[in-house]
Amino acid sequence: TTIRNGVLSLFVLGNITACGNIYHGNTAAVVNGWTPKISGTPRGLAGVAWNGNTWVVVGYNDVILASTDNGNTWTHKTSGITGVGFRRVAYNGSTWVAAGSYGLVSISTDNGNTWTRKTIGTTHNLHDIAYNNNTWVAVGWCGLVFVSTDNGNTWVPKTSGTTWHLNSVACNGNTWVAV
C-alpha cells in the first residue's frame, strides 16, 4: 500500500484459485474492483513491499519479482536459491530482506536486482520479517525469533517465551510485537 499525490495504490497477491496472480488498483479499486496484472510466474505469491520506487513480490519456489513502473510490469529476479519459498519481504531504506521456508533469508542491496542467501541458523519456516531502527527481526515456527543488527548479514536467535508459531511481527518505533 502506498499513497502518492493523494492516490492510494494497493496490491493484492492472489493464490487462492490460481497461482501467480497480482491484482493492482488505486483508491477506487477498493470499491470498484482490482485490475489483474501478469506476473510471469505460475508460482504462488506470498509477500509484497514497496520502497518508494520499486515494488518487490516474493513467493513459493524461490520467486522474486520486481516492478519499477508502479506494478504494471514485473521482472523475475534470480534469488540464487532453488526449491524453497519466500513468505515475506521488507525494505529498510538500503536493503531488501526476504524470509521464508526452511529458515531462508536472502538480501539485496542493489534495489532487488541481485539476491544473496544468508544463513540464519534454523531449518524451520520463517513467517514474517520487519525492520526498525537498525534492527531486523524474523519470526516463525515454534516461537522462533532471529535478530540482525548488521543489515541482515548475520542473525542471532532470541528467546520468545513461546513454542507456538509466530506468524507476524511489527514495531511502532519503540515496541516490538509478534503474534
Question: What are 23-75's pLDDT values in tens digits?
Answer: 766 666 666 777 788 888 888 899 999 999 999 999 988 899 999 998 889 99
Better-predicted residue by pLDDT, 104 or 22: 104
Find the mean pLDDT for residues 128-151: 96
HSE-CB for 108 with a 13 A CA cutoff: 23
Measured between alpha carbons, how far is 95 from 106 in angstroms, rounded to an integer?
10
Segment 143-162 mean pLDDT: 96
pLDDT at 30: 65
Whether the predicted pLDDT of 6 surpasses 50: no
Residue 122 pLDDT greater than 90, yes or no: yes
Residue 153 has pLDDT above 90, yes or no: yes
Grid coordinates 501467480 are at which residue? Answer: 20
- Mean pLDDT on 116-143: 94
pLDDT, residue 110, reads 94
Count the residues in the chain: 179
End-to-end CA distance of the chain: 22
- Answer whether 39's CB lies under 8 Å from 18's CB: no
Q: Kindly state the cell numbers that stand for 134.
A: 537498525
Mean pLDDT throughout 124-136? 96
